[in-house]
Structure 1
């Protein structure tokens, strides 16, 4: 699996950082952005596991975590195993454009 580093967008007018990218800044309404490839990791704020999904038979559990990046935005990411609150993780995007969190 090739890995792409997660990129945040920062508003040129007010400095608000967002993920995913948006047309307009939620803080000031401006539409001019600068991309920052600085969201290589973060800290888990919450995590959960999805055990039953409609139409997804035999695919196993899906682990999800809310990860606070150093720039501020919270990113929802998948993981291979359960993650603990406060745990530092690395963030990346896989070939299917899914965000993943990896402990370490």
Structure 2
């Protein structure tokens, strides 16, 4: 899984099975929708989701939050998802010499 991303079905499913992940994602989607309801029409609402490497957890979480928000709005508003680090090299751990 290390060299794959949260866009791959099995990685996505693995991330969502992490204890607490769906609770956090659902709460985030609810809060994002509530915030968006307070912002004037035409203004941008941005959510940043981060993890250590930016290829697995943050990707799966952002995709799921985006889908939940879009579905809650009935597709009436656009949701854009950008993955800024998905193409970066995989982080490797190193042990001190």
The TM tier, using the shorter chain, reads under 0.3
Q: Normalized per residue, which structure has more helix?
A: 2
Higher relative contact order (CA 8 A, sep 6+): 2
**TM-score w.r.t. length of structure 2:** 0.27
**TM-score w.r.t. length of structure 1:** 0.26
